[in-house]
Amino acid sequence: MTETKGMDWLAFFRKYRRQTTQSLIIAIIIIPLIRPLGLPLPITERPKAVYAIIETLGPETKVICSMNIAIGLMGDVNPGTIAIFHHLFRRGVKLYIVGFNEDGVSVILEPYILAAAKPEIYGYVYGKDWCVLGYVPGGTVAWSTFAANIRSAVQYDKYGNYIDDLPMMKGVNSLNDFDIILDCGGDHTDIVVQQWADPYNKPYISSAGIGGVTIWLEPYFKTGQLDGYVAGVTQGAEYEQLVGISGRALSTIDGVALSNLFILTLVILGNIMLFKSKVR
């Protein structure tokens, strides 16, 4: 009896493989969201490197942050970026945010990043301690124009203020006037290195998606052109632990772990069944 029932389940799964796998995956992801499991999370080297760099910054440091997160990559990049922002605000640095893709500054920055890492909580005043210089269109050329002369690329900030009216813009004319580069988004490390970090000889850290590790991040990290990076939601969660905040990354990585294990289980079961049918 149980034998035939088992076969029925198998036949059902074969027929509705896509539907069952996808529904089960969603169920498995929801569980740790409601009830976090608190699986252990060892902290790896790369986030530690970024943490050490930001720890050395002080209230006089000027950080230029290029915000280029694509909408599709929000889940992967945002947690790490939010944790880094918390850390920067805690160190009291001056933060200048600018965007070179359509969505980074206009769609993602306020509802997702600044809503989670609120500058006001750290006593930040807009225009004095942080500002958003808005979206600069034009691709690679825009990066180099901005670096050479900020005022030729940007005249007004995101909220329509003339940038010379912002107290923190006084004496800031080119990339030479900043102390460190933070790039959020991370799928154009080559442009940042070629247009900003190398010619102006500034330290450069990045918050990126895990998909870019092999192509965009690790090669530049090995040559020393990139000084540190936080890639993907797992390293984002590690950074949250380093900074000591409880953001969304920690509940996310439980979901990552469970879904990975679920897929692995299905893959192993599938191979066992294939092997059995071959033996038969």
Partner 1 sequence: MISTDIAIWIGALWVIFAYSFIIRDNPLFKFCEATMIGTTAGVFTVIAFDNIKKLALLPLIEKQAYINIIPLIIGILLLAQVSRRQFYLSRLPIAIMVGGGIGTAMSRTITSNIVIQLRSIMVPLPKTPFEILNIIILIVGLLGTLLIFTYTRERKGPFGWVTKIGEYLMMAAMGSTFGLLITMRVTYVITRLQIIVFDLLGLG
Partner 2 sequence: MHFSLIVVMFLICMWLISKNITPHFRSLPALESIPELVGRCVETGRPLVFTLGYGSLRTAEAAVTVAGLAIYEEVLKQSIDKGAEVITIINSADHIPLLRGLTEEAYRSKGKPEEIKPENLIFIGGGQYSQIAATIGIMDAKKAGAFVYPGSVAGADIPIYGEHAGTIGAMSLAGMTNVAAWPWIVSIFDYSLLGEDVLAAGCILSKNPIMTTTIWGGDFYRYALVGIILVGVIASWMGINVSIFFAS
Partner 3 sequence: MYPIAIASLVTIIFVIQYFYPDPTLSYMTSQIGNWGIIFAAYAMAYGLVNLVTRRAMDVIKSRGRNLYSLWILIMAVVTSTLGIFGGIGQPQYSWIYTFIYSSLGATLYSFSYLYTASAGVRVLRVKNLLTALFLFGAVFTLLGDVPAIRSFVPQFFDLRQWITGELARGPYIAFNMSVGIGIAIMGLRVIIGAERRWAGIED
Interacting residues with partner 3 (CB under 8 A): 17-18, 21-22, 25-26, 39-42, 44, 71-72, 74, 103, 107, 111, 213-215, 218, 234, 237, 253, 256-257, 259-261, 263-264, 266-267, 270-271, 274-275
For position 186 contacting partner 1 by CB under 8 A, the verdict is no
CB 189 within 8 A of CB 108: no
For position 248 contacting partner 1 by CB under 8 A, the verdict is yes
In sequence order, the 6+-apart residues with CB closer than 8 A to the CB of 248 are 78, 79, 116
For position 76 contacting partner 1 by CB under 8 A, the verdict is yes
Structure tokens at 178: 């900043």
Residue placing its CB nearer to partner 3 in the complex, 149 or 271: 271
Write out the H or E segment, with its range, that includes residue 241. helix 232-243
Residue 219: count other Cβ atoms within 10 Å of its Cβ. 14
Residue placing its CB nearer to partner 1 in the complex, 36 or 92: 36
For position 219 contacting partner 1 by CB under 8 A, the verdict is yes
Per residue, what are the HEC states of 174-223? CHHHCCEEEEEECCCHHHHHHHHHHHHCCCEEEEECHHHHHHHHHHHHHH
Residue whose C-alpha is closest to residue 133's, from 169, 157, 151 = 157
> How many Å apart are CA 85 and CA 171, to the nearest integer?
24
Residue placing its CB nearer to partner 3 in the complex, 41 or 148: 41
For position 74 contacting partner 1 by CB under 8 A, the verdict is yes
Residue placing its CB nearer to partner 3 in the complex, 41 or 114: 41
For position 70 contacting partner 1 by CB under 8 A, the verdict is no
For position 149 contacting partner 1 by CB under 8 A, the verdict is no
Backbone angles phi, psi at 134, to 5 degrees: 90, -170
Residue placing its CB nearer to partner 1 in the complex, 43 or 266: 266
Radius of gyration for the chain, computed over Cα atoms and rounded to the nearest angstrom: 23
Residue whose C-alpha is closest to residue 258's, from 43, 27, 28, 2 = 28
Residue placing its CB nearer to partner 2 in the complex, 2 or 214: 214
Q: Which of 58, 72, 167, 244 binds partner 1 (CB under 8 A)?
A: 72
Q: Which of 69, 233, 242, 243 binds partner 1 (CB under 8 A)?
A: 233
For position 26 contacting partner 1 by CB under 8 A, the verdict is yes
CB 69 within 8 A of CB 77: yes
Residues that bind partner 2 (CB under 8 A): 17-18, 72, 211
Q: Which of 6, 12, 14, 23 binds partner 1 (CB under 8 A)?
A: 23
Q: Is 98 exposed, middle or buried (0-12, 13-18, 19+ CB in 10 A)?
A: buried
Binding-site ranges for partner 1 (CB under 8 A) = 18-19, 22-23, 25-26, 29-30, 33-36, 72, 74-76, 78, 209-211, 213-214, 219, 232-234, 248, 251-252, 255-256, 259-260, 263
